[in-house]
Amino acid sequence: MIDIEGLYKSFGKVHVLKGIDLHVDDREVVAIIGPSGSGKSTLLRCMNYLEQPTKGTVSVDGIKLDSTANINKVRTEIGMVFQRFNLFPHMTVQKNIMLAPMKVRGMDKVEAAETAEKLLHCVGLADKAEAYPQQLSGGQQQRVAIARALAMHPKVMLFDEPTSALDPEMVGEVLDVMRSLADSGMTMVIVTHEMGFAREVSDRVLFVDDGRIIEQGKPADVFEHPQEERTRAFLSKVL
Amino acid sequence: MDFNFDLVVNSFPLLLLGAGVTIKITAISVMLGVIIGMFMGISRICNVKIIRIIAAVYVDFIRGTPLLIQIFLVYFALPIISGQRIDPYIAAISACGINSGAYVAEIFRAGIQAIDVGQMEAGRSLGMSWAQTMRYIIIPQAFKQVIPPLGNEFIALLKDSSLVSVIGFEELTRRGQLIIAQTYGSLEIWTSVAIIYLAMTLTISRFVAYLERRFRTDDRH
C-alpha cells in the first residue's frame, strides 16, 4: 500500500530524514515511535505529500507522489488525523464531514449527510451533528476529525500523534475508535507516544531516531527484546 | 460672530444630496476595493513568484503615493495616453477603488495569514485543491477577522472621497464649495459639511461594531 525508498528530507540545513526505506502492506497497522524531533511526524507527512521529499520516492497504492502526480486525487485515498484536530471552526460537525465528499467526490448533499450521520454514529457522536467544534471536548473533536477523514473512504489512514493534545481522561475514547478501525481492516500508520496502544493494536512497530529507522518488528519483540541500544534507552524512559 | 441658521436650513437639502453621492461613490469604491483587494491579498501569499511580485508592486505604489495624485493620474494623465476624456464619475470611482484595493489587500493578507496553517493542511489532506481550501475554509474564516479593519477602511475612504471634489465631481465637499461660492457662508456650510461627515462615519462604525458582535456570538469564534 505504501512504498518508501531512500527517503531524505531536509529543511534548509537541518536533515530530518536520512534514508528511510519502508513498505506498509494492505491492512497492516504500523506504529511509529521515537523521541521528539526524531523525524517521525515528518516521515508521516511525506506519506501524503504535505512534505515533499528532498530525495527518494514515496508511493501510495502504486502512485508515486511527486510534482507530476495528481496529488489531490491521491490524497482522497489517504486520510489524515492531526495532533491538533484541525476541524473547521466555522462549520458544524456535520458540515465538517460533508464538505470534502461533496466538493471533491461530487457527492450530493443527501448522500453526504447520510454518510456523516453513519460515521458520527460509528464514533459515538450521533447527537453532536449540529454542534460547532469549539463546543466539543478535545476527545470529541478528535473523533469528529477521524470521521471527517473516513468520509472520503480512504484506503490508508495516517495518524499524527492523535492523542498528544488531549487531556488524559479523553485519550481512551479516541484510542477506542482507532482500535475498532484497525479491527475493521483499515491500513493505518500511527505516530504515537501511547506505547500500550502501539503494542496492543499494531502489527509492526518502528522505532525512529535521528531520521533513521533504528529497529522494527512485531510489537512483542520490539518492546520485550529490543536489539538496539538506542531503542532500549528510549523504552526505558517511556515505559 | 454671526451664525446664519437660515442658511444652514436652506442649504441642507443640497448638502444631503451631496452626501448621498458621497455614500454612493464610497460604497461602489469599497466594493471594487474588496474585489481587487481579495485577489491582490491572495496573490501576495500565492506561491507563484511573479504574481506575488505584481501584487507587491501594486500595493507599494498605491500606499506610497497620495490619493490626490492618483486621482490626478486617472483624470488628467490617463486621457493623454489614451486620447479619450474620462468621465469624472468613472475617474472618481476608479481612483478610489484602486486605492482602496491596496489597503484591503493588506487587510486580507493579514486576515488569511492569521488562520492556523493546520486549516490549509486539513483541507489539502482531504483532497481539496489549494483554491477549494481557500474558498471554503480559509477565506470564510478570514472574513470574520477582517470585518473590523474593513470597517475602518470604509470610514477612511468615505473621508478621503472628499478629494474627488478637485476634479469637479459633485459629492458632499464639492456641494459645500459651490454653495459657499454663492453665499459666502464658509462658517455655516463647512460646519454643516463636517457634521454630515461625522454622522456618516459614526453610523458606519456603530454598524461595524454590531457586525463584529453578531459574528462573534454566532460561531463563538
Using CA atoms in the order B178, B182, B185, B189, what is the torsion angle rounded to 10 degrees? -30
Closest CB to B141: pick one of A75, A86, A90.
A90
The helix/strand/coil state of B183 is helix
Can you tell me the mean pLDDT for A14-39? 94
Q: Which are the contacts of B208, defined by CB distance < 8 A and separation ≥ 6?
A: B147, B148, B150, B151, B152, B154
Q: What is the pLDDT of residues B143-168, one digit of tens each?
A: 888 888 999 999 999 999 999 999 98
| pLDDT > 90? residue A238 | no
Report residue B169 as a C-alpha cell: 465631481
- Side chain identity at residue B192, one-letter code: S
Using DSSP's 3-state secondary structure scheme, residue A60 falls into strand
Contacts of B5 (CB under 8 A, 6+ apart): B188
3-class secondary structure, A81:
strand
Q: Are strands A156-160 and A55-60 parallel, antiparallel or unpaired?
A: unpaired
CA-nearest of A32, A3, A62, A52 to A207 is A32
How many angstroms separate the CA atoms of B201 and B206, rounded?
Answer: 9
Reduced to 3 states (helix: H, G, I; strand: E, B; else coil), residue A129 is coil
Query: Packing angle between helix B172-183 and helix B186-219, nearest 10 degrees?
Result: 160
User: Is A134 within 8 Å of B127 when comparing Cβ atoms?
Assistant: no
Give the pLDDT confidence of A67-93 residue by residue, as tens digits: 888 999 999 999 999 999 999 999 999
What count of residues does chain B have? 221
Helix, strand, coil percentages, rounded to 5, for chain B: 85, 0, 15
Per-residue pLDDT at B88 exceeds 80:
yes
pLDDT over 90 at A131, yes or no: yes
Task: With a cut of 50, say whether residue B221 has pLDDT above it.
Answer: no
Question: Chain B window 132-191: which residues touch A at a Cβ cutoff of 8 Å?
Answer: 132, 136-137, 140-141, 144
Percentage above 90 pLDDT, chain B: 79
Please state the ipTM of this predicted complex. Answer: 0.91
Which residue is closest to A46 within chain B, CA to CA?
B125
Spatial contact of A41 and A211, defined as CB atoms under 8 Å apart:
no
Provide the pairing of β-strand A2-11 with A14-24.
antiparallel
Query: What are the chain A neighbours of B220 within 8 Å (beta carbons)?
Result: 132, 134-135
- Pairing of β A204-209 and β A212-217: antiparallel
Query: Which SS3 state, helix, strand or coil, does residue A187 take?
Result: strand
pLDDT-derived band at B32 (thresholds 50, 70, 90) equals very high
Please check the confidence at residue B217 and state whether its pLDDT lies above 80: no
Tell me: the pLDDT tens digits for A157-173? 999 999 999 999 999 99
C-alpha grid cell, residue A158: 495516517
pLDDT tens, position by position, B42-71: 999 888 899 999 999 999 999 999 999 999
Q: Do B121 and A86 touch (CB under 8 A)?
A: yes
Residues of chain B with Cβ-Cβ distance to A103 below 8 Å are: 128, 132, 136
How far apart are the C-alpha atoms of A38 and B83, rounded to whole Å? 67
